[in-house]
Structure 1
């Protein structure tokens, strides 16, 4: 798919609300088809406790970059709707609009939460602990982290995490960042929903605790 300037300028109206600043000099390295608006949106962030590198936009399909879109839904503004089949998360806005974020989702249908939940906790640079099921499935990979891994640039939860609870109990399902931006739009995780670090930082500051999240069912065709 050829990346065109028209494709990449769709997110320009979001720059004001996202708090982005002027284009940095290093953005020219991202390539001739990257619009200044998107380059600024996904530029490196140097105000965090740990570095957030610029996203190499040549490795992300432009349809998965943050943009405001028309979105018909019965859900109230402020709700997050995750569509694993399409690899999108929507933050519902008034008047039939939504902010759309590209996501990476679980590899296997059985790993994925579905239904309604609320964000009961939010964390910046969260600590990560693999679940018992993850350790049981892949002990060599996850066993060394059974005691947890502190937040940081190498933590698989990235810069932010939103923790989903249902009926007062942790679902062990999160919306979180990633240090592997090229995986957005794919089925790679162990069930959680991953966003680009710049996108989860943006979503994190837009939604409060007790925000409703709706996760649609995953079809077997979408995970193949």
Structure 2
């Protein structure tokens, strides 16, 4: 009874989220794994398997589960972390608005940072040749997207996991998206 009563005082969107229980597949929980081929400190994203690796030594990495871009929208290649933000604001790109105006046009002026923001609690901004690529490694308000290819190209993580990664990775870190 208390659960039903307390959710009555929440905004509708939070009340719905409160009712849904999400269980992350254990393989997508952060864990240390055998991994090699990159310099320590390099982030490697394997979109096909939905993992992000932070190379921690010559032979090990911290592995996280991620959600990635759906076909045709994913970032590929090398980049660096050009900046980082806690509770970042979000504005859909012009391409997102063009592709799905009914979904994104209302956010054209941006959404302030906070728990309802699509970028979640942290964002690491991917830069190439000193320019923002418009792709991010970020948290998500949709934890069920982890392990799936559904985003507009960014790399999504559970908020607690991106917070962990955020503290481990400096601006300037190399990122490789396979």
Deviation at 1:58, TM superposition (A): 5.4
Pairing 1:83–2:46 present:
yes
| 8 A Cα contact 2:33 2:63, kept in partner | yes
Pairing 1:60–2:24 present:
yes
Q: 1:124 aligns with which of 86, 106, 121?
A: 86
Return the alpha-carbon distance in structure 1 between the equivalents of residues 79 and 58 of structure 2.
24
Long gaps (5+) in structure 2: 1-16
Pairing 1:103–2:69 present:
no
Pairing 1:71–2:35 present:
yes
Long gaps (5+) in structure 1: 1-52, 217-224
Pairing 1:149–2:111 present:
yes
Pairing 1:178–2:140 present:
yes
Return the alpha-carbon distance in structure 2 between the equivalents of residues 57 and 155 of structure 1.
20
Distance 1:122 1:140, change over 3 A: same
| Residue 200 (structure 1) aligns with | 162
SS state at 1:213 partner? strand
Deviation at 1:95, TM superposition (A): 3.5
Number of residue pairs aligned between Structure 1 and Structure 2: 161
| Residue 190 (structure 1) aligns with | 152
Deviation at 1:60, TM superposition (A): 1.5
The CA RMSD measured in Å over matched residues stands at 1.6
4+ aligned runs moved over 3 Å, structure 1: none
- Greater relative CO (CA pairs within 8 A, separation 6+): 2
TM-score in terms of structure 1 length: 0.69
